[in-house]
Amino acid sequence: MASEFTLALSAWEGQFLEFKESVSDSLAREFVAFANSTGGRIYVGVTDDRKVKGVAVSNRLLSQVQDIARHCDPPVAIHMAPFKHGGHELLLIEVEEGAHKPHGCSSGYFLRTGPSSQKLNRHELVEFVRSLEPVIFEHQDCPDFRCPEDFNEEAFRTFLRESGASPGSLSTEDLLINMGCARRQGPRLTINNTGVLFFAKNPSNFLPQARVACVLFQTPERLHILDRKDLEGGLLENLHQAEVFLLKHLPVRYEIRGMDRIEHPEFPAAALREGLVNAFAHRDYSVRGGNISIEIFPDRAAIVNPGGLPAGLPPEDFGRRSIRRNPLIADLLFRANKIERTGTGIGRMRDLLAQAKCAEPVFHFTSFFELLLARRLAAGGQVGGKWGASGGQVSSRDRVILQFCKTPRFLKEIMSEISIKKRDHAMPGIKSLIAAGLLAPTVPAKPRSRLQKYATTPSGIAFLDI
């Protein structure tokens, strides 16, 4: 127990963890919040900033705690265990997930949302009751998963490193159980769907909906694909690779100040990251036929995920309040420092885009959740002006290509002009110029046609004159 407490101290309060300096009637709020979620642990004798002060554990104190749990409606099942740490006496209270939700107390009905217990208003309570299921997707066992054959040890160590957790003497199995990703069934360790999403070698083998599709389109009408990447790694790796794809294909404007070159991305990287984290944290993973999609068009970028707004969150409260569809997944993202604070991501994204003088983000709520980011357009309807493939003042090689292709050229001619011998080394730059609307294929319907040439567009010619 002492080693588990040491691990708990290395992390902030979260979906399953709460620190209390002392016992008071307010403990009832935490009891019903945990019971209405999936259970949790409360350490009494520790301040909110994780300073261990201790508490005098007596029979009277234990009776007081039990009475608080008993007077919840319906009563909340708890287990108490006094222990010592560093010479201080502490009390661990384990709150079981409620078997008869919703649970309430004299202060109302509460739900655990990340590191806080959120009071539900009448509308939210009604929606919460409607959404109750015996076992939600993220906690469902994955019976086909086998440890250690299917377990990605590297992804697990990466998570521990990014979360700053110190495992101490706890085994990997104990850590997975404490994180809510597994449980023991006799001698066997059973991994749930959340554990699969984060720590499987090939999550899509068990959950096909875990794939992420990243697509770069040549036109706004989805007619021609310039680049596509299907991500099939763990959740954190997919999140990282999706960000890489966006930053790779969205241009950067260069500003020269004296001897320095300052880069201005089309969209702030932090804003893109907020959009991606929102999709990964809040998508409806129970929809087996849908995947997260990252789509880049000449006029817009889109991040789309299955599932509209979570139950209990009306459209008018979107961006101001937060209800997590996947509390366990969101908690692990919080621990890995991908989510900063509860319910502030959308507001922070809007602020970042406004500061960068980008258009206001647009959100669509249907059976899918769609984030649309309008790109800067030149008069001709293509991405242009001072926004090029590799920047506002494009690289010297890009300028050579655009100048050379004022007369349509074959790829081999372009490669010879810029002294590149391998096609795979030349095409990324060509595709970026096409995505920026500065270059165009002469046979767009057949990208690999033997007759294919590339020609500088009017926007490209105007760009050269800047």
* Segment 288-307, tens digit of pLDDT: 878 999 999 988 999 999 98
Q: Which pLDDT score, from 0 to 100, does residue 259 have?
A: 57
Q: Which pLDDT score, from 0 to 100, does residue 265 have?
A: 78
Domain ranges for the chain, please list them. 2-132, 210-374, 396-464
- Reported CATH class of domain 2-132: alpha beta
Reported confidence tier of residue 104, pLDDT bands at 50, 70, 90: very high
Sort 224 into a burial class: Cβ within 10 Å, 0-12 / 13-18 / 19+: middle
Query: What is the mean predicted confidence (pLDDT) over 216-244?
Result: 91
Reported confidence tier of residue 3, pLDDT bands at 50, 70, 90: low
- Judged against a pLDDT cut of 60, whether residue 381 lies above it is answered with no
- The span from the CA of 459 to the CA of 379, in Å, is 9
Q: Which pLDDT score, from 0 to 100, does residue 16 have?
A: 87
Question: Percentage of the chain with pLDDT > 70?
Answer: 88
Q: Which pLDDT score, from 0 to 100, does residue 127 have?
A: 79
**Predicted model pTM:** 0.58
Give alpha helix (H) positions in 252-344.
269-282, 327-335
Query: What is the mean predicted confidence (pLDDT) over 97-119?
Result: 91
Residue 425, H or E segment: helix 423-435
- Reported CATH class of domain 396-464: mainly alpha
CA 366 to chain CA centroid, Å, is 20
Q: Which pLDDT score, from 0 to 100, does residue 462 have?
A: 77
Structure tokens at 259: 């001897």
Sort 263 into a burial class: Cβ within 10 Å, 0-12 / 13-18 / 19+: exposed
Question: Percentage of the chain with pLDDT > 90?
Answer: 51
Query: What is the mean predicted confidence (pLDDT) over 326-346?
Result: 84
* Segment 407-442, tens digit of pLDDT: 999 999 999 888 888 888 888 889 888 887 889 999
Minimum mean pLDDT range among 24-38, 63-77, 125-139, 328-342: 125-139
- The span from the CA of 391 to the CA of 466, in Å, is 13
Structure tokens at 447: 């990208």
User: Is the fold of 210-374 the same as that of 396-464?
Assistant: no
**Domain 210-374 belongs to what architecture?**
2-Layer Sandwich (3.30)
What is the overall mean pLDDT for the chain? 86
Minimum mean pLDDT range among 69-78, 175-184, 187-196, 283-292: 283-292
Minimum mean pLDDT range among 198-202, 206-210, 318-322, 448-452: 318-322
Cα dihedral value 54, 56, 58, 60, nearest 10? -110
- Judged against a pLDDT cut of 70, whether residue 342 lies above it is answered with no
